[in-house]
Amino acid sequence: MKEAQELLRKYFGYPSFKEGQAKVIASLLAGRDTLAIMPTGAGKSVCYQIPALLFSGVTLVVSPLIALMKDQVDALNALGIPATFINSSLKQSELRTRLEDAEQGRYKLLYVAPERLESEDFLQLVQTLEVSFLAVDEAHCVSQWGHDFRPSYRKIVPFIEVLPKKPVIGAFTATATVEIKGDIERFLALDNGNVFVTGFNRENLSFSVLRGENKKDFVLDYLKANPGQSGIIYAATRKEVDQLNELIKSKGIPCGKYHAGMKEDERVRSQDAFLRDDLPVMVATNAFGMGIDKSNVRFVIHFNMPKNMEAYYQEAGRAGRDGDPGECILLFGAQDILLQKFLIEQTVYSPKRKTHEFNKLQIMTDYCHTPRCLRKYILDYFGEEGVDETCGNCGSCQDDRELADITVEAQMILSCVVRMRESFGTVMVAEVLKGSKNKKVLQFGFDRLSTYGLLKQYTLQETKDLINLLVAEGYLTLTEGKFPVVRLGRKAAAVLKSGEKVWQKMRAKIEKKPDDTLFEKLRNLRKEIADRENIPPYIVFADSTLREMSESCPLDHQSMLNIKGVGEQKLQRFGDQFMQVVREHKEACIQ
């Protein structure tokens, strides 16, 4: 392991391995097949990149996405490590050149899509290579119960069987339940391999669920309070992504979008702009993000509830990959449940799998309502033991918002739903309470109801927000279907008959992050270098590295090398430029 430690310091600029990394690397270097289940940000890629440098032959990395391969290869090449990828994005001439270079032993790592393992040309190539190590990234894709199932991952074992010599196998994933873990071991034939579960906990992330909020207002307020911060906003449908993207841009906030309905070149441009910090905010469906190694994402907001915990934790986990604090906020509305049920009905055909998906959706719904520690809830789901009952860093543990008594407003809304015979949707109920002269309101004679206009002092949106809050808290329910109808929930009777109090937690004030002048100067330099080198900024240095620079103010090479994330290659390429900014900043502070 001493040699591995030296390579970590030389190339990656870290003095020691993170928790779990050393055990995984030692297992692989001992020739043992290994499954590593490690949370996002725990350094899974290092666990196969360091062994790749020490094995005599080439390492094949099976990776599911073109963007992920490009990210990894760009980062390795920036460190001076010879690596490349082979996928469908290459022209035939580029493909031929890379295959020839691989045959000449010019690469230590060769990234390939799982479908490539069935290609005749590629099968002929690997017969000429010494494949010492096969790393399977995002290994949960092999399981049909995983959220990113790729049938081509099932071709990995047949591919291994045609190689002249069996390589060491390493499988890596961030999200695996006991069920998925079993599938990975079975379908990758890891029967006698070592398994390392380093834990799912991401202590630098804070989790919160906000129910009954006006989602669009919250997003706009959050972005205004965090200008320039890099973040992802996930929405459930393409239409919602398009509308939210337009709304954010209309407020003068730079924003990109990403979903499968866009043309490929549009998606690539949008993704590249986000990776390069040209666009700080990305609004996207779940088509975006798997394997994107952008380390300086400071927040992930879910505009809609995802369909299961695996998807949520992987998407939320794209915040704070550099170890600095990250916020994970889920904006829950009762309509989210209906939408996800609809999407499951439209995309899942096997009755057994459909039942499985509905069960997972219920677990996700329970998460959105639990008063328990949110981190504890997530870690319990993934089977992590010995977790404290409270983390002190989630929405449940830190919820000290003031309570407002909205019993009277709740009684008015519940009474109105009863008088409308529980037969209309949220908008219609709100129109009646507002006292609207809407044609349909008058047509049904709702202007003659005793509840007509009782909430005229509220805007229509505020009344809808109150109705959504009562749905989220179980006082009201929504029927399924394209046009959900509002009905009384299980908790309504006690409010109407016994006057049981209904409380609303006041919206938390979104505080603007403090300014850090030197950190911002270093970020600006990083962006200039990245644009000049044609690479994403986080490949130059992570936010956490710049943060440490701004605190320790290094002015010589040894001081720079003492900063985590500054290796010899990066010191040589970028060190003097960053030290110059630090020097000028200190001189300006003295004057």
Tens digit of each residue's pLDDT (9 = 90 or more) over 511-523: 655 557 899 999 9
Superfamily of domain 517-590: HRDC domain (1.10.150.80)
pLDDT for residue 118 is more than 60:
yes
Give Cβ neighbours of residue 527 (< 8 Å, ≥ 6 apart): 276, 277, 537
User: Mean of the pLDDT values across residues 84-107?
Assistant: 86
Pairing state between β 326-332 and 205-211: parallel
* Amino acid 382: pLDDT: 86
Can you say how many angstroms the Cα of residue 347 is from the centroid of all Cα atoms in its chain?
22
Asked: is 403-505 a CATH 1.10.10.10 domain? The reply is yes
Please tell me which residue, 120 or 84, carries the higher pLDDT value: 84
Q: What is the pLDDT of residue 247?
A: 97
Most confident by average pLDDT, 121-125, 363-367, 433-437, 541-545: 433-437
The one-letter amino acid at 144 = Q
What local confidence, expressed as pLDDT, does residue 147 receive? 61
Helix axis angle for 309-316 and 351-369, nearest 10°, is: 60
pLDDT of residue 41: 74
Across the range 177-190, mean pLDDT stands at: 88
pLDDT for 475 = 92
Predicted confidence at residue 356, as pLDDT, reads 85
Helix (H, G, I), strand (E, B) or coil at 566: coil
pLDDT at 514 (0 to 100): 57
For the chain, the domains span 2-197, 205-381, 403-505, 517-590
Per-residue b or e along 24-34, where b marks 16 or more CB atoms closer than 10 Å to that residue's CB = bbbbbbeeebb
* CA-wise closest residue to 211 among 55, 370, 101: 370
| 55-59, 469-473, 516-520: range with lowest mean pLDDT | 469-473
For residue 573, pLDDT over 80 is answered with yes
- Strand order of the sheet with strand 194-197? 83-86, 109-112, 58-62, 131-136, 168-173, 34-37, 194-197
| Identical topology for domains 205-381 and 517-590 | no
Query: Domain 205-381 in CATH: superfamily?
Result: P-loop containing nucleotide triphosphate hydrolases (3.40.50.300)
Structure tokens at 350: 């096997």
The structural architecture, per CATH, of the domain 2-197 is 3-Layer(aba) Sandwich (3.40)
**What residue type is 497 in one-letter code?**
K
511-568 tens-digit pLDDT:
655 557 899 999 999 999 999 988 889 889 988 899 899 999 999 999 999 999 999 8
Helices (H) and strands (E) counted in the chain, each on its own, are 26, 17
pLDDT of residue 515: 54
Q: What is the pTM of this model?
A: 0.73
More confident residue, 359 or 225: 225
Least trusted range by pLDDT, from 258-262, 298-302, 344-348, 448-452:
344-348
pLDDT of residue 218: 94
pLDDT at residue 113 tops 80: yes
Question: Would you say residue 329 has pLDDT above 70?
Answer: yes
